[in-house]
Amino acid sequence: MFKGYDLAQIHLIFHPMWSANVYLTYAERFEIIPQSTSYGSTTRGICPDPVTGQYVVKRSTRANGSRLGDVIPLLQARIPAPLVPRYGVRADPKLTSRNSLEYSAEFYLNRFFNKELYYFIL
């Protein structure tokens, strides 16, 4: 689990037309897939993939299989954190930059996206 943070996809940014002056999001969570603790090791832990140095993540789901989403205040957002599809042995040819978040099952959390994210995840 991410310590102190949830990796989440923002699906709605809104303000309920009501007395509360607040921006909210509907956000769906991802979770880390445990990886080998070192290259060649069979021990797995909450650590980055030893080859790429990237965390591998997948969508979290509820017991009924639906995606795990909730309404969360926008001000809880800390930093953008782009994902990169993890192709596996062979990339699915139907993947494009505009559908890969829907068609892929596993992703790398791309810490190399920028310096701030790199230091943040480290």
Partner 1 sequence: MHPLGKCPFAPSDNASTPELHDDNPDDGVSDATDDHEDDQLNILGWDSSQPDLFARAAQLSANITPSTPLPFRTLSTETTAFQLNFHPSLSNITVDEAAVRFKLPDLRPALADYIQRSRDLRSPVLKIGQRRSSPPDAMLPFTHLQVWYSVRMQMRSNDATGLTDPQRVSALPVTDDWPFGRYNTVLLSNGMALGPGLGGSFLLLFSVRF
Sites of contact with partner 1 (CB under 8 A): 1-18, 21-30, 32, 46-47, 55, 60, 62, 66, 68-83, 98-99, 101-102, 109, 114-116, 119-122
Instruction: Specify whether the CB–CB gap between 32 and 49 falls below 8 A.
Output: no
- In this structure, how many other beta carbons lie within 10 angstroms of the beta carbon of residue 25? 21
Decide whether 51 or 89 has the Cβ nearer to partner 1. Answer: 51
Residues in the chain: 122
Closest CB to partner 1 among 16 and 50?
Answer: 16
Helix/strand/coil for 117: helix
For partner 1, give the closer residue by CB, 28 or 86.
28
